[in-house]
Amino acid sequence: MGEETSGLNSSMNGTTPDHTPSDSHDPGEIRHEIEETRAEMSETIDAIQAKLDPQRVKERLTDTVREATVGRAQYYAEQARDYAEQARTKIEEVATPAVAAIKDAAHRVEEKRHAHDSGLASTQHPQKPGQLKPISEQVVVVFGASSGIGRETATQFAKRGAKVVVAARSEAGLLSLVETIRNLGGHATPVAADVTDFAQVKAVADRAVAEYGRLDTWVHCAAVSLYATFEETTPEEFARLIEVNLVGQAYGAMAALPHLKREGRGALIHISSVEAKRSFPLQSAYSSSKHGIIGFLDALRMELMRDGVPISVTNVMPAGINTPFFNKARTKMGLKPMPAPPIYHPQVVAEVILHAAEHPTRDITAGGASKMMIAMQKMSPALLDAIYSRAGFSAQQTKEHKSQDAPDNLFGPIEGFNKVGGDFSDKSKPKSISNWLETHPQAQRAIQSAAVAGLALWLLRRRS
């Protein structure tokens, strides 16, 4: 009791047991301090809540991830550059000896082939071992020579010094051609013949041998055409195109082969069309006949290779050419037909034919449009179907009316068109860059090699 009283008294006197006296505080000041403390605590709580806000947390996490991703990407990019450099070094290490080995092997193969050809020629034809003769030393048959491509080709052969036998159904066309050639100082002999009669075709080959002693090159140009939908084409018309354009080509090879074999070398040059690879609307029969040419030439070529007979077999595929062919064609369109643009001069085809007569060539196009269409056909035939189903009809028609009953050369010759050019000289191209590449294969290979090397370099740079 005494201790409690003493403690109470001490409190009232401003003292505490075992403590020193403390300063007195005004109640107002105490409240102020309390309010300040509460404000500070509120700010702290707000700061903590701000730091824990989901949106800000997400933003901070995104920034962190982005920084980490960029850093990792930079790391991988550096690694990729290192790998690309290692790969390039490895490719060079492997490719250099491989290319050298391939060149060496090709050189050895060429040496063996040359030795084989030289050995074969030494027993049969020591003067010209295993090679096609220069045009100036050749005897050439051009079948289908009365107009167009054939007429231009025969003239160019004669200008280069070849002795030429020209054949076609139109005797008047042949006589005028021979006169032209002789006026140029050349040698030419006309033989009227129909390609659908093998006896007449054989007579042309025999006449060449009888007149000039041998046969070196056979050029087969003869063809006819029909412009009509398949439903409008009669069985007789379809069969006629196959007979002239395909069977006639086979007859030509059959007639020429015995003489070429006897000579021990030579060239079979057959003119098909870009339509041997890519059909056009309104030409079902024509396209069929041209497709067939590839089939029989490919088979013949392999048989000659097996027998070791050095006879070159060439398929020439022209684009649209400005010749009287379109004036003479039968049409059921009601309009005069024309070659699908772009159109080329007949000399564009004659150039590649003369090239093939001296340089063995398997397939060759005439006119860049032909090469382009064949390439597109390989990449996307469906795309060309869509294009030609819309534009292929009008592209083959002029605005000039032509009756279905107008004269045509489907079943017999018609006169008045014994010339080289047709009615589209103002639209035809006299030259073709594609032709130059076709007739300069070394330049073509160099350009292709440069393109491949450029692509490889671009890929390596892109990887790095």
**Active site positions, annotated:** 286
Following CA atoms 238, 243, 245, 246 in sequence, which dihedral angle do they give, to the nearest 10 degrees? 110
d(CA 330, CA 76): 69
Element containing residue 428 per DSSP (H, E):
strand 428-429
What is each CA distance from 122 to 115, 128, 263, 264, in whole angstroms? 10, 9, 13, 11
Parallel, antiparallel or unpaired: strands 397-401 and 335-337: antiparallel
Output the DSSP codes for 177-236.
HHHHHHHTT-EEEEEE--TT-HHHHHHHHHHHHHHHS---EEEE-----EEB-TTT--HH
Token reading at 414: 């018609």
**Which secondary-structure segment (H or E) carries 321?**
strand 320-321
| Cα–Cα distance measured from residue 210 to residue 4, given in angstroms and rounded to the nearest whole number | 160
Q: What type of residue is 163?
A: K
> What angle do the packed helices 368-379 and 381-391 form, to 10 degrees?
120
Cα separation values, 205 from 143, 189, 214, 309, Å = 10, 12, 9, 19
The two tokens of residue 455 are: 């692509």
89-107: b or e for each residue (b if 16 or more CB lie within 10 Å)? eeeeeeeeeeeeeeeeeee
CA pair distance 93, 100, nearest whole angstrom: 12
Asked if residue 342 has a cis previous peptide bond (ω within 30° of 0), the answer is yes
Scan for tokens 């007949």, then name that residue.
Answer: 346
DSSP string, 273-308: -GGGTS--TTBHHHHHHHHHHHHHHHHHHHHHHHHT
What are the residues whose beta carbons fall under 8 Å from the beta carbon of 65, sequence distance 6 or more?
A: none
Interaxial angle between packed helices 284-307 and 248-263, expressed in degrees from 0 to 180 and rounded to the nearest 10: 20
**CA–CA dist 261, 270 (Å, integer):** 18
Structure tokens that stand for 413 in this block: 């010759």
Residues contacting residue 230 through CB under 8 Å, at least 6 positions apart: 284
